[in-house]
Amino acid sequence: MNIGEIASRAGVSRSTVSYALSGKRSVSDATRKRIQDVIDELGYRPNAAARALKEGRTRTIGLVIPPASRRLTHMQLGFVASVVEAAARADLDVLLSPSGGDHDRSFERLLSGGRVDGVILMEIRLEDSRVRRLQNAKLPFVGIGHTARAHEMCWIDVDYATVINQCVHHLADLGHTRIALVNRSVELMAAGYGPGHRARDGFTAALAQRGIQGIDLECGDDAAAGLVCATRLLREHPDVTAIATINEAALPGIQRGLEEAGLNVPGDFSITGVVGRTWAEEFRPPLTAADVPAQDIGTQAMDLLLERIADPTTPFRNILLAPPVSLRGSTGPVRAT
Amino acid sequence: MNIGEIASRAGVSRSTVSYALSGKRSVSDATRKRIQDVIDELGYRPNAAARALKEGRTRTIGLVIPPASRRLTHMQLGFVASVVEAAARADLDVLLSPSGGDHDRSFERLLSGGRVDGVILMEIRLEDSRVRRLQNAKLPFVGIGHTARAHEMCWIDVDYATVINQCVHHLADLGHTRIALVNRSVELMAAGYGPGHRARDGFTAALAQRGIQGIDLECGDDAAAGLVCATRLLREHPDVTAIATINEAALPGIQRGLEEAGLNVPGDFSITGVVGRTWAEEFRPPLTAADVPAQDIGTQAMDLLLERIADPTTPFRNILLAPPVSLRGSTGPVRAT
DNA sequence: GCTGATAGTCGAACCGATTCGGTAGACGGT
DNA sequence: ACCGTCTACCGAATCGGTTCGACTATCAGC
């Protein structure tokens, strides 16, 4: 069932049906009604591929998420949810591509001719070949995260350096002088994952500013790894009294590790995190954390993308967010010994 | 840049380029190489819309998820992740449609001509108009969940009735005689959300079988609601000593409520849940729960869908899973008074 | 040397929409 | 009566692939 079928049943030409639907030219009320009746009766829906072919756009955007094997953090989930919601508001569909590596077939297809009108890229590494390939494909795209060369693309990102810097200052203000940074996984760090490296930079800078010492740890992205990491930290560095982390997924495990070691939070030990807003409250005790407005970030990424799709020649815009640290129950003054 | 451009640069006809790429007719090695060189040089990729138009299929499936406003449970997230992964393995793309209601534009687009080859539908209600609309559109689809009329469609589902029944029996075995069911939200129940109603049925049946009494509660799908729900339960029904719940999202709040009331789990109070596998371990204490194999379910849903796409006339298959209750640390014998 | 099979290629039709140019008829102004 | 303007509609081209039928050249079999 195609537009020709509708046209012949309504006794008009195909172009008239098209104009009746799009309203781009005038069609008499009588004709329009006749056409609409036929359409309603047959349940006709215009073929999306044909329309996309002719119009040269698909009204679909691609969203590149971390590979399915890796569980999304709450923050990433917030990004995905808000991008999807923003796309729905703009009457756009979202094509999901779970791909991290270079030669991911799903990513290949995204690049392929006219599959999507634009792409939002998540979990970007400092050196990320996907960026170059999107540029080569001349596909408008926006990053949630950015590469080492900030100027080469349009992005929105959390300022992990500043955020971790603030966390360390907060802990130092409370008297902590031995602080550990629990970073993302060894693999991600080795792959040059931006937030991890920027967090490390912010951590090192803050330590220097306060003249205190820190332990820099990498930790797998799940609760089990967090438990192992916390346990080892307490054993190998018993003088550490606080953790700052950007590793959301490890947090429950870190907490469990502290608990199993008989440490009370915040009485004996302090933790700060960087987590999606609304999630910090779900910890016990509620987590002192930089509350990342994941909803806003997804929405703004979508806005940036729409802008680029509308006019691909606009200069790249970069948005860096450094949400302040919200004080909750997981940090306190260092215990008097 | 289209196939004609490649053809003329390689000095062959468009059809030869097509055959060189698809391999459906023989092309001499020399010609194939010449074509491939031009393609590599120009970075040509066939237009997806044109191919879809001609072939009559898009190699894309639609995944209907709950509206973006509602946060996905871990279990649902597991479904999404595994469907996406399974689709990637089958070289299919996934189009996301966040839609619960009837007249969701994103769902409309999914139905529209040839947008997707098939659909996986999540969070199905006992009466769900989307099912009828997919049937009318003659679009192959598979439900993760099912309607009141089990025979009308192809689906895979968790047997919430049996699972909750088992939970209650387990609690009763431990001596609990006042058990509360914490169900999903009032809104979902009112909308006829299947798992909620089936869980209630299983709960009622188990109570009758054991000759004990229960409290049937509805609870919003987040931690805050869980806290409120638990607090009120303890106040209004102080004789209750155990909770069985299918409400994953409320669990952290329920735990907090018990904790704030000074109740020790499992010493004073027991909890059982129905949660995505791997998540039960992340609770403190680890949650006695029916571990839903969300990964398998997504994968199997995909298999069912591929089967239906390949042959839409196959009889509907229905798969009902009742994962056994895994004993962990959140249930124990009722406290001697 | 004739026939038949096969490999390699081309041209044209086709998928289902959109859109441009054209035209018939109605209507108003002069 | 003539011209210009609008409205309402039609026909054909077009988007970029795939695929069928046809054609040529080559080679084997007899």
pLDDT (tens digit, 9 = 90+) per residue, B205-255?
A: 999 999 999 999 999 998 899 999 999 999 999 999 999 999 999 999 999
Tell me: the pLDDT tens digits for A7-41? Answer: 999 999 999 999 999 999 999 999 999 999 999 99
Bridge partners (DSSP) of residue B216 are B181
- In this prediction, residue A61 has a pLDDT band, given cuts at 50, 70 and 90, of very high
Strand nucleotide closest to residue B25 (CA to C1'): C8
Residue B41, pLDDT above cutoff 90: yes
- For residue B297 the two structure tokens come to 């379910």
Q: What is the pLDDT of residue A337?
A: 63
Residue B101, pLDDT above cutoff 80: no
Residue B174, pLDDT above cutoff 80: yes
Count of Cβ atoms closer than 10 Å to residue B285 Cβ = 15
B19 beta carbon to strand C: under 7 Å: yes
A55 beta carbon to strand C: under 7 Å: yes
Q: What is the pLDDT of residue B76?
A: 93
Of A190-194, A232-236, B98-102, B153-157, which range is least confident?
B98-102
Q: B173 to chain A, minimum CA–CA distance in Å?
A: 30
Average pLDDT in the A230-238 region?
Answer: 96
Q: What is the pLDDT of residue A104?
A: 86
- For residue A22 the two structure tokens come to 């799009």
What is the total residue count of chain B?
337
Do the Cβ atoms of B268 and B174 come closer than 8 Å? no
Find all residues with CB under 8 Å of A186, minimum gap 6, and list them: A218, A220
A53 beta carbon to strand C: under 7 Å: yes
Q: B92 to chain A, minimum CA–CA distance in Å?
A: 8
Residue A101, pLDDT above cutoff 80: no
Predicted TM-score of the model (pTM): 0.93
Q: How far apart are CA B29 and CA B19, in angstroms?
A: 12
Mean of all residue pLDDT scores within chain B: 94
Residue B102, pLDDT above cutoff 70: no
Residue B3, pLDDT above cutoff 70: yes
Q: What is the pLDDT of residue A29?
A: 94
Q: What's at A24, amino acid-wise?
A: K
Average pLDDT in the A239-245 region?
Answer: 96
Tell me: the pLDDT tens digits for B15-35? Answer: 999 999 999 999 999 999 999
Q: Which of B330, B254, B250 is nearest to B289 (CA)?
A: B330
Residues on chain B touching A105 (C-beta within 8 angstroms): 88, 91
- Which residue of B106, B227, B299 is the best one to mutate when testing the A interface, meaning the one whose CB has the most A CBs within 10 A? B106
Do the Cβ atoms of B307 and B314 come closer than 8 Å? yes
> H helices then E strands: how many in chain A?
13, 12
Nearest to A68 among B50, B72, B84 (CB): B84
Strand nucleotide closest to residue B30 (CA to C1'): C8
What is the total residue count of chain A?
337
B23 beta carbon to strand C: under 7 Å: no
Tell me: the pLDDT tens digits for A301-328? Answer: 999 999 999 999 999 999 999 999 999 9
Is B97 at the interface with chain A, CB within 8 A? Answer: yes
Nearest to A136 among B43, B47, B255 (CB): B43
Q: What is the pLDDT of residue B337?
A: 63
Cα A70 to Cα A98, B85, B120: the distances in Å are 10, 11, 22
> How big is the A-B interface in CB pairs under 8 Å?
134
- Which residue of B51, B109, B254 is the best one to mutate when testing the A interface, meaning the one whose CB has the most A CBs within 10 A? B109
> Strand C positions with any atom < 7 Å from protein CB?
7-12, 14-21
Cα A76 to chain center, whole Å?
A: 4
Average pLDDT in the B109-127 region?
Answer: 93
Mean of all residue pLDDT scores within chain A: 94
- In this prediction, residue A96 has a pLDDT band, given cuts at 50, 70 and 90, of very high
Dihedral sign from CA coordinates of B27, B31, B33, B37: negative
Q: Taking the C1' atom of C9, which residue's CA lies nearest?
A: B16
Q: What is the pLDDT of residue A277?
A: 81
Task: Determine whether the interchain pair B49/A47 forms a contact, defined as Cβ–Cβ distance below 8 Å.
Answer: no
Of A96-105, A120-129, A133-142, which range is least confident?
A96-105
Q: Taking the C1' atom of D18, which residue's CA lies nearest?
A: B54
Q: What is the pLDDT of residue A102?
A: 67
